[in-house]
Homo-oligomer: A and B are copies of this chain.
């Protein structure tokens, strides 16, 4: 692993599906364990992973409507496949618990403690009518695409969309 000390992983998360969040976190935790730096940039539906359960969109009717539609938050996300009205989500959560696989939120908190840089996309926050107080405390920064590109300009870049 020494060869990659000082290496870097940048993950762009555009999806709010549970399994996509798991994949992002697994990669980040592996990178951190191997001595790399990790940056996680959450944009669009990916912001669900950073919104605490009480967060909701403000402003126009439409921002509030989208916020009401999208029930997902840091502690609960749907599956991209076989969600089955929540039954699939429940089954997968339970299967993960049986296999002692941490949830996305638990993994995010762990990644944060291991030094990951967690960024929420400023454009998405504006579009959805959300602000800093709607997000979990583990979020380090609110920033735009330029910040992602700077982080991504060296090392491994993974897009989870």
**B-binding residues in A (CB < 8 A):** 1, 4, 7, 9, 12, 14-16, 19-20, 22-23, 26-27, 29-31, 33-34, 36, 43-45, 60, 62-63, 65-66, 69-70, 80-82, 88, 91-92, 94-96, 98-99, 101, 123, 126-127, 144-146, 148-150, 152-153, 155-161
Indicate if the CB atoms of B158 and A4 lie closer than 8 Å. no
Indicate if the CB atoms of A26 and B156 lie closer than 8 Å. no
- For A22, the closest partner residue in chain B by CB is B44
Please, how many angstroms separate the alpha-carbon atoms of A99 and B127 in the complex?
A: 7
Given A101-B127, A149-B34, A156-B157, is A23 in contact with B4 using a C-beta cutoff of 8 Å? no
